[in-house]
Amino acid sequence: MATIGSLPTPPRAPGRVVFLDGQNEMGMVEVSTEMSTAAIYLHGAQVTHFQKRGELPLLFMSQCSRFSEGQPIRGGVPIIFPWFGAREGLGQHGFARIHEWEIKEFAPAPDGSFSLRFCLPECPEASTLPAFTADYTVSVSDYLGLRLTITNRSDTVFNFEDCLHPYFAVGDVTAVSISGLARRTYLDQTAKFALRTEGALPIRIASEVDRIYLNTTDPVEIADPRLGRKILIEKEGSASTVVWNPWVAKSQQMPDFANDEYSRMVCVESGNVAPNEVALSPGETHTLAVRISTQTLA
């Protein structure tokens, strides 16, 4: 595990970057700009906190999250790669979220925002896959920018799934409406991946929801009247959108999630999963980019 002493020296203004030992002494970075603050664990390169000045935190973090080697962190923005969901004999949602990433670069910008670039080191689980590199850039501004870049370094096609899986903090999940997915087809993971079509109205949540919307590239907006804000999720290089809330029974089954926390979160994930998986030719690069911004709800 990287210690503070082994990390590069942080730059000076305009951003402030501090390396700390986080929970269970796991290495993390706190970024502070004039517009916002953020926290990123090296474990999974996982953003665990983002907050615009004058606003409530954007991201939900479970009070019961594990912070331990080989386990995902429950909340923030896990990176799902190189597969989504279950794989026989392999861990759910790939291995990128359970390995410690390396920091490669800091980049302060003249507008006061700050970017950090991480890279996934070689992982034993990747030994059966075509050779690849994975880079991840987090931009901390008056928005949160996330950019996952996969390059195929092998001489065969690399098929993979990727997904940036933000847990958004909401006031009351039953009061939010999610727009941008009207009339789109989705795989219903609560019904053995049945293919269904969304209705014309914004999505409301009143039971377990676990849907993979296919061929969806448009922005999605979460309107949260209880917290008085709108969350806008814009993306590039993403053909799938996943909407997830575990609701009551599943929350009770998750050891790293409190029974009532489902009411304060919703995941709207951007990626390329199921039939939208990426087939990357030798030498090619694929970038999945997500920009998350907020506005006061009028």
CB closer to ligand BG6, 19 vs 95:
95
Q: Does 147 bind ligand BG6 (CB under 6 A)?
A: no
282: Cβ contacts below 8 Å, ≥ 6 apart: 152, 154, 155, 156, 157
CB closer to ligand BG6, 97 vs 230:
97
Q: Does 269 bind ligand BG6 (CB under 6 A)?
A: yes
Measured CA to CA, the distance from residue 42 to residue 244 in angstroms comes to 25
CB closer to ligand BG6, 20 vs 248:
248
Minimal distance, residue 60 CB to ligand BG6, in Å: 13
CB closer to ligand BG6, 140 vs 148:
148
Q: Does 268 bind ligand BG6 (CB under 6 A)?
A: no
Q: Does 222 bind ligand BG6 (CB under 6 A)?
A: no
Minimal distance, residue 269 CB to ligand BG6, in Å: 6
CB closer to ligand BG6, 58 vs 243:
243
Residues 158-177 that bind ligand BG6 (CB under 6 A): 165
Does residue 81 sit in helix, strand or coil? strand
The two tokens of residue 49 are: 């906190």
Residues 2-61 that bind ligand BG6 (CB under 6 A): none
Residues 76/48, Cβ–Cβ less than 8 Å: yes
**Nearest CA-CA partner of 269 in 22, 32, 78:** 78
Minimal distance, residue 242 CB to ligand BG6, in Å: 5
The bridge status of strand 36-41 relative to strand 46-52 is: antiparallel
Size of site (CB under 6 A) for ligand BG6: 9
> Of 41, 158, 244, 262, which lies in the binding site for ligand BG6, with binding defined by CB under 6 A?
244
Q: Does 242 bind ligand BG6 (CB under 6 A)?
A: yes
Residue nearest to ligand BG6 (CB): 92
Measured CA to CA, the distance from residue 138 to residue 118 in angstroms comes to 8
| Alpha helices in 68-215, H assignment, sequence order | none
| Alpha helices in the chain, H assignment, sequence order | 247-253
CB closer to ligand BG6, 19 vs 244:
244
Measured CA to CA, the distance from residue 109 to residue 140 in angstroms comes to 10
Q: Is 73 exposed, middle or buried (0-12, 13-18, 19+ CB in 10 A)?
A: buried
In which element (H, E) is residue 193 found? none
Residues at the site binding ligand BG6, with contacts judged by CB under 6 A: 72, 92-93, 165, 189, 210, 242, 244, 269
